[in-house]
Structure 1
Amino acid sequence: MANPDESNARGLQSVERSFEIIEYLRSGGGATLSEAADDLGMAVSTAHIHLTTLVDTGYVVKDDDVYRCGFEFLQTGGQRRDGLALYQAAKPELDELRDETGEHTNVTVEERGYSVQLYKSENPHSIDDDASLGDHFYLHLTATGKAILAELPDERVAEILDQRGMPALTDETITDEDVLYDELAAIRDRGYSINNGEHFPGVCAIGTAIASDPDGAIGAISISGPRSRITTERIEDELAPALLNKKNIIELKIRQFE
Structure 2
Amino acid sequence: MAKSASAIRSVSRTFEILEVIRDLDGATIGEITERVDIGQRSVYNYLKTLEHNEYVDKDGDEYHIGLPLFSLGSHARNLVPIYDIAQPQVDRLAEETGELATLFVENNGLGVYLYYASGANGIELGTHEGEPVPLHSTASGKAMLAFRPQCEVDDILSEHGLPMFTSNTITTREALDDELTAIREQGYAESDEEQRPGLRSLAAPITDDDGRSIASIGLSCPVHRVDDDRFYGDYLTALQGAANVIELEYNYA
TM-score bin (small chain):
0.7 to 0.9
Provide, for residues 180-224 of structure 1, a one-character-per-residue CA deviation record: whole Å limited to 9, x for no partner. 011111111111001112122222111011123537322110122
For residue 101 of structure 2, what is the aligned residue in structure 1? 105
Matched, 1:82 2:78: yes
Matched, 1:254 2:245: no
Check the 8 A contact 1:208/1:244 in 2, yes or no: yes
TM-score (norm 2): 0.85
Query: Alignment partner for residue 213 of structure 2, among 196, 207, 217?
Result: 217
Change beyond 3 A, Cα 1:256–1:82: farther
* One-letter code aligned to 1:154: Q
Q: After TM superposition, give the deviation of residue 230 of structure 1 in Å.
A: 4.7
Change beyond 3 A, Cα 1:61–1:201: closer
Larger Rg: 1
Unaligned runs of 5+ in 1: none
How well do the aligned residues superpose, as a CA RMSD in angstroms? Answer: 2.8
Unaligned runs of 5+ in 2: none
Q: After TM superposition, give the deviation of residue 8 of structure 1 in Å.
A: 3.6
Change beyond 3 A, Cα 1:232–1:154: farther
Number of residue pairs the alignment of both structures matches = 252
For residue 164 of structure 1, what is the aligned residue in structure 2? 160
Q: SS where residue 146 of structure 2 aligns? A: helix
For residue 72 of structure 1, what is the aligned residue in structure 2? 68
For residue 31 of structure 1, what is the aligned residue in structure 2? 28
* One-letter code aligned to 2:115: Y
Check the 8 A contact 1:149/1:157 in 2, yes or no: yes
Quote the Cα distance in structure 2 between the aligned partners of 1:219 and 1:146. Answer: 11
Q: After TM superposition, give the deviation of residue 162 of structure 1 in Å.
A: 2.3
Matched, 1:194 2:190: yes
Q: SS where residue 75 of structure 1 aligns? A: helix
Q: After TM superposition, give the deviation of residue 77 of structure 1 in Å.
A: 0.6
Give aligned-pair identity as a percent.
34
Change beyond 3 A, Cα 1:26–1:246: closer
* One-letter code aligned to 1:136: P
Quote the Cα distance in structure 1 between the aligned partners of 2:32 and 2:125. Answer: 30
For residue 243 of structure 1, what is the aligned residue in structure 2? 239
Change beyond 3 A, Cα 1:182–1:230: farther
Alignment of 1:35-54 (within 5 A): 40-43=36-39, 46-54=42-50
Check the 8 A contact 1:193/1:207 in 2, yes or no: yes
Check the 8 A contact 1:107/1:220 in 2, yes or no: yes
For residue 134 of structure 2, what is the aligned residue in structure 1? 138
Matched, 1:117 2:117: no
Check the 8 A contact 1:30/1:69 in 2, yes or no: no
Matched, 1:14 2:10: yes
TM-score (norm 1): 0.83
Q: Which moved more, 1:206-215 or 1:126-135?
A: 126-135
Q: After TM superposition, give the deviation of residue 147 of structure 1 in Å.
A: 0.4
Query: Alignment partner for residue 151 of structure 2, among 137, 151, 155?
Result: 155
For residue 176 of structure 1, what is the aligned residue in structure 2? 172
Check the 8 A contact 2:95/2:118 in 1, yes or no: no
Q: Which moved more, 1:110-119 or 1:20-29?
A: 20-29
Provide, for residues 88-143 of structure 1, a one-character-per-residue CA deviation record: whole Å limited to 9, x for no partner. 12222122222332322111111122211122221232446343333332211111
Q: Which moved more, 1:64-73 or 1:91-100?
A: 64-73
Matched, 1:204 2:200: yes
Quote the Cα distance in structure 1 between the aligned partners of 2:178 and 2:36. Answer: 42
* One-letter code aligned to 1:212: D
Q: Which moved more, 1:177-186 or 1:65-74?
A: 65-74
